[in-house]
Structure 1
Amino acid sequence: MRTGNEPMTARSPLRLRCGLAAFGLVWAIAGTVLFAAAGHPGWAIACGVLAAVTAVDLGVVIRHIRQGPHYQPGRDVPPYAPVKGEKPER
C-alpha cells in the first residue's frame, strides 16, 4: 500500500548492494591487471579508476551495514513515520 511518503521512508537493500560492489571490484581489478599485462595502459587506468570508485562504494556500504538497524532495519522494523507538521520536499 502506498502512503505517499516513500522517498522519506525508503530503505536501500545494502546486502545486495554490497554483493554487487564486491563483484564489480573483483572484475575491475581483474580488468586492470589483464589490460596492463596486454599492454593497453588507457584501459588499465580506466579499470583502475573504476576499481577505486567501487572500493569507496563498498566501504560506504559496509559502514552503513555496521551502523546497525537504524540504517538497515530488518523485516520486523516498520518504516519510519514522517515527521508530523513538515511538508515533504519534492
Structure 2
Amino acid sequence: MELENLNPEDIDRIVEMAWEDRTTFDTIESQFGLSEKQVIALMRREMKESSFKMWRERVTGRKTKHQSKRDFQEGRFKSSNQKT
C-alpha cells in the first residue's frame, strides 16, 4: 500500500503499532502492506521532529520490533485491534 492511500484511521493505528514495543514491523507489513522503510517515512511525516528522533532511538536495534530477532513468538499482551 502507498502512504498516500492511507486514511486517517489507518495512519493513527500504524503510528500506535509502531510505538508499541512488542508489535513487529512484520505485523504492520502484514496488516497494512507497509515495509519497515515506509513505516519510518510515515512516522517522520506524522510526528514532530523531536518525537520522531525519540522513537527512532527507541526502536533502533530493538529485538522486539523484528520478528526474526525475537526469542519469543507472542508477548504478554495482544491488542484486540491487531490481526496477527
TM, length-normalised to structure 1:
0.32
When Rg is computed on C-alpha atoms for both structures, the one with the higher figure is 1
TM, length-normalised to structure 2:
0.33
Higher relative contact order (CA 8 A, sep 6+): 1
